Amino acid sequence: MSPRLALTAVLLTAVVAGTASSGAQQPPAPAPYPLDDVPDKMPFDIPYGAPISLERAMAAIAATVAEAKKHDWKLDVAVVDSGGNLVAFERMDGAQLASIEIAEHKARASATFRRETKVFEKGIQQGGNLYVMTLDGVIGSRGGIPLVEGGKLVGAIGCSGGTGSQDEVACKAGVAAIIK
């Protein structure tokens, strides 16, 4: 081996050894785990109020069905009280049978968890919060919206039969009709 080649080998070995010992090849520190964040206030802390009346539940359903008819959407619509118990339900002509239980489930999950079911959908689909699927009573599909009046939860409305976004639009019409 020529002296020049030997010197090049020694220098290359020194550079590699120096890089390894300088910490340049250490793995980066792990990112903080977002679920370890501790919020100052309780999220979705809406107090439960008196249960919605049948009359108001039917008014919410009527507005929801009217919105669905404008678009030729065939939906099942459920309204539950502040405890998640069914108060009123309507199945539009031609609405799929599987959506009966789904509409009730969306309304019940929205009332008992005090949040829109869209929160679960977003957490699962975009947030990677797959643990949400392990919680009893959750449904990871939009179309369940709490009915909050005077700062208190009086019930929730749930729609199913269309796409999640169609269900949500129809439900919002029902909410707007009774919550001023």
Residue 28 makes CB contacts below 8 A (sequence gap 6+) with none
- Residue 123 region, left (φ>0) first, then alpha (ψ -120 to 50), else beta? alpha
Fold of 54-178: Beta-Lactamase (3.30.450)
Estimate to the nearest angstrom the gap between the alpha carbon of 61 and the chain centroid: 22
pLDDT given at position 105: 97
Task: Give me the chain's average pLDDT, please.
Answer: 88
Tell me: the pLDDT tens digits for 53-69? 999 999 999 999 999 99
pTM: 0.79
Reported as type and span, the H/E element at residue 175 is helix 164-178
In the structure, what pLDDT confidence band is assigned to residue 20 with cuts at 50, 70 and 90?
Answer: low
- Domain ranges across the chain: 54-178
Q: Which helix (H) or strand (E) holds 52?
A: none
Instruction: Give residue 178's pLDDT band: very low, low, confident or very high (50, 70, 90).
Output: very high
